[in-house]
A and B are shown apart, each in its own frame.
Chain A
Amino acid sequence: MAGLAAVFGSGAMTNSIPEIENNDVLFVIGSNTTETHPIIGIRMKKAVRKGAKLIVADPRKINLVRFADSWMQQKPGTDVVLLNAMMHVLLKNNLIDRVFILIRTEGFESFKEGLEKYTPEYAEKITGVPKQDIIKAALLYGNAERPAIYYTMGITQHSHGTDNVYAIANLALMTGNLGMESTGVNPLRGQNNVQGSTDMGCIPDQYPGYQKVNLSAIKSKFEKAWGVKLSNKVGLTAMEMMGAAIEGKMKAMYIMGENPVLSDPDMNHTLKALNKLDFLVVQDLFLTETAELADVVLPAASFAEKDGTFTNTERRIQRVRKALNPPGEAKEDSVIIRELSEKLGYPMKYNFIEEVFQEIGSLWQAVAGVTYGRIDKWGVQWPCPTLDHPGTPYLFKGGFPRGKAAFTVVEYKPSKELPDEEYPFVLSTGRHLFLYHTGTMIRKGDALSKVLPEAYVELSPDDANQLGVSNSQKVRVSSRRGSIEVKIQVSKRVGKGMVFIPFHYKEAAANMLTNTALDPIAKIPELKVCAVKIEKI
């Protein structure tokens, strides 16, 4: 999100889900949409049925490829080259929007020069995608009237993830494909309320509503509202906190509803960090792997046991309603936080949960017009500054929050760890349709988990032959950081030289293997590319 925010001044999906079916070209890159966002996948298929062209760029032959007019199987980690080559083609064919570039963007000239060397021929060498496919995809996108780009972690979980996002933004900017209905750049958020928790300021440099903690005017606004002195020092990101814990600078942590032991890269690193803490509080539904390391574990209520709101990937604020009582003495997270706060001498007085939302609206204009009454049946998409504002289905209609959007010169940087003789395969990790994250919610023994009871590694038939392994055979997959034992699934979904492991299984945790190399700006770990070897057991 940091990437998009830097370019446009706001980092969210620019369009909304119902607009998908009116796209005439959909460019899906680094998103296995039908598995990670199945309902958005349904809308995409609907668009295709209505006549839209679908371009898919993915190292795996994902299900969406069946519906695609063009599929580019780029090597993992080479997205920048692919995108730059597409832009090179657009430039050569003059399929750019000069008026848009002139009026609404800056930095085009230097960006244009930067594209010179990214010819389709050069890209074919690096990405492995035939040049005619790149040209075809570029022309499809360039000639479209209402094209939109969709991406997820396949773009961002790289040590150069922000560069990937810049490249996508460049593509949309040079063709003027922004600020209109069904036309834009759409990062699909992976979790029910990841948009909301970012909006709410659960990030180290921003208060709710993307207001910087180190700007004194903003700080004093929040100091006034909360009645306390606040710190203007930008905090640490999740990965930096783990590092600080290992160095002994971080002494205590409070973790609410997260399971970093399984979800963060390099499990041993995370375990070491959390074990080094003097005091760890974990608040969760279950005794997760992270909770097992805690000094105090607090039982929390699930989504069905509380009132409140979630904000989905298209910025739509929707009502969550209490349907059940929490089990035993478990309490809603909001109640736990408030009671704890009171113990620490700062009572947070709210009569009902909507008062919290009203307070948010008083501090962040974009949601000031949202009330529980308004979103009783249908959610509203922020920005929605006043009670009579209808909400905003697509962004940047009149311009960008930062004024002119900036082109960024993006150069190809190879992933931090590439295959070599010792570790010859590229490992990518991801989600599976039936499973979700670290398995805290879909648990062993649940009906859903029975569909896919065991971890697997996808391996291409060629590589399987060469290694002399067959379906369901157990192998050891190792990287420089660890190794796991897992069953082979021979599959044409992955290309030669690539393997894929879903990251949900704790008995074969893919994140034992992954690399903690971080993107320098977004601080996101490189979960999509690392080098591994496969050995028979």
Chain B
Amino acid sequence: MVNLTIDGIKFTAPDGTSVLDAARRHGISIPTLCHHPKLTPYGGCRLCIVEIKGIPRPVTACTTPVTEGMEVTTINPYLEKLRRTTLELILSDHPNDCMVCEKAGDCTLQELAYFYGLRENRFLGERRIYTKKDGNPLIERDMEKCILCNKCVRVCNEIQGVTAIDIAYRGFKSKVCPPYERDLDCEFCGQCIRVCPTGALTGKMWTLKGRQKDIKEIDTICPYCGCGCNLTLNIRKNEIVRVTSREDTINEGWLCAKGTFGYTFVNNPARLTKPLIRIAPKNSNELRVTSYELKNKKDSEDLSLITRHSSLEKSLVTRHSSLFREATWDEVFDLIAKKFTKIKEQYGPDSIGSLSSARCTNEENYLFQKFMRAVIGTNNVDHCARF
């Protein structure tokens, strides 16, 4: 352990801690844009500068380890003036369009500009103008809003191990981009979006769906693989508008492409909304389905109908109505009860089988097998994915 003084108060901190971490651990906040506790310190944004007795010039707190007897000053008029100037420089090359920015209200840069009261900027001049190159359907890259904090580059390399992006060029021309400035071609895990301190990286799917202040956050568990990642569903008007994850969870706040972007099925208009009863004769559709599966061309035509919003209803109606009619819950329950009872009487309970779902909750699976065992009277209950 190391003894040190921060802003006149004595603290101890473990060896190897950075001044920034030591200060934060004791509730002293130092502004920063490029620091992330799970990534290597970078010292890029220059906002966490502090004065240390015996060192002539201010140093960055995130890259300076604590030493015995160190005396740190985190706030004084000189440091604040430097920070203010640094922020002004960053903002001089940042589009002033918070009113339409997805990130407004949840943006570290905006927060800092507010607290430093930056409205006028002394350094207005040449701006970096980027041509957008992103045909990818998931990650919106608005590089004019990028402040080169390097967090996305580090998370991609250090956490995800993909190294899809890096900083190219130098000085004023520096920019974060994939190799040869091509379009993004990566795992689309969205880790970079999660760490971006500005609106430079956002999800395309959540454009104009609602900013953070309008959002109700509900914690739940991801419905895809078995990792059991914790998701926070961001809900607005009975719709999931995006998915985030808390950092104090089993997945440490990281998600994959499916966890981040795979939620749209919930609000998909093709969801079933009413019980259906078959009207088409059976077996005739064995051929129908098989040919449907095999004829790529026909299939893709059919599906393009679904994706084209206007003709959505029509295509669904034709798909349903040739096979099924809508019914009430009472009607279908009566029908199922009648059929199951009859088949059970005629052929015995073991002539009824069932498949449960690895998608459903424990409680639902429990009730399902209880239903089959206690009500139908058979142990014919399995699920496809039990291996």
Residue count of chain B within 8 Å CB distance of chain A: 126
- Bound complex: CA of A356 vs CA of B361, how far in Å? 11
B336 touches A296 (CB 8 A): yes
Q: Is the CB of B226 within 8 A of A191?
A: yes
Alpha-carbon separation in the docked complex, A359 to B268 (Å): 34
Residues of chain B within 8 A (CB-CB) of A204 are 379-382
Known: A295-B278, A314-B228, A451-B136. A203 touches B382 (CB 8 A): yes
Instruction: Decide if A190 touches B225 in the complex (CB within 8 Å).
Output: yes
B358 near A38 (CB under 8 angstroms)?
Answer: no
* Residue A182 lies at the interface, judged by CB distance under 8 Å to chain B: no
**Contacts A191-B359, A308-B362 known; A293 to B265 CB distance under 8 Å?**
no
What are some 18 contacts across the A-B interface (CB < 8 A)?
A36-B225, A197-B365, A201-B365, A204-B379, A204-B381, A230-B377, A250-B353, A279-B339, A297-B276, A298-B332, A299-B271, A308-B362, A318-B250, A328-B271, A378-B250, A379-B250, A433-B258, A448-B262
Measured CB to CB, the nearest residue on chain A to B239 is: A324
B89-139 interface (Cβ within 8 A of A): 136-138
* CA–CA, A322 and B368, complex, Å: 20
Binds A, one of B8-16, B43-51, B143-151, B343-351: B343-351
A509 CB contacts on chain B under 8 angstroms: 293
Decide if B383 is an interface residue (CB 8 Å cutoff). Answer: yes
Q: What is the number of residues of chain A that contact chain B, defined by CB distance less than 8 Å?
A: 164
B6 to chain A, nearest CB (A): 30
Interface string of A201-238 (1 = CB under 8 A from B): 11111011000010000000010001111110111111
Known pairs A296-B336, A321-B218, A436-B258; A192 contacts B271 (CB<8 A): no
CA of A426 to CA of B268, assembled, Å: 38
Chain-B contact segment, one of A39-47, A401-409, A461-469 = A39-47
Q: Collect the chain A residues with CB atoms within 8 Å of residue B355's CB.
A: 238, 241, 253-256, 258, 260
Chain B residues packing against A (C-beta within 8 Å): 136-138, 158-161, 187-189, 204-205, 216, 218-230, 233, 235, 238-240, 248-251, 254-259, 261-266, 268, 270-278, 282-283, 285-286, 289-290, 293-294, 296, 299-300, 303, 306-307, 319-320, 323-324, 329, 332-337, 339-341, 343, 346-347, 349-375, 377-387
Judge whether B306 and A257 touch: CB under 8 Å: no
Partner of B266, one of A287, A324, A344: A324
The reply to whether A433 and B367 contact each other, CB–CB distance below 8 Å, is: no
**Is B238 touching A324 in the complex (CB atoms < 8 A)?**
yes
A271-B290, A337-B371 given as contacts; is B379 within 8 A of A233 (CB)?
Answer: yes
Which listed residue, B219, B256, B354, B381, touches A39 by the CB 8 Å rule? B256
In the complex, chain A residues whose CB is within 8 Å of the CB of B361:
193, 196, 303, 306, 308-310, 320, 333-334
Given the complex, which residues of B lie within 8 Å of A229, measured CB to CB?
A: 377
Those of A243-287 within 8 Å (CB) of chain B: 244-245, 249-258, 260-261, 263-264, 267-268, 271-272, 275, 278-279, 281, 284-287
Closest to A191 in B: B358
**Roughly how many angstroms separate A154 CA and B360 CA in the complex, as a whole number?**
25
State how many angstroms separate the Cβ of B210 from the closest Cβ of chain A. 14
A254 and B329 in contact, given A309-B362, A360-B366, A446-B264 (Cβ under 8 angstroms): no
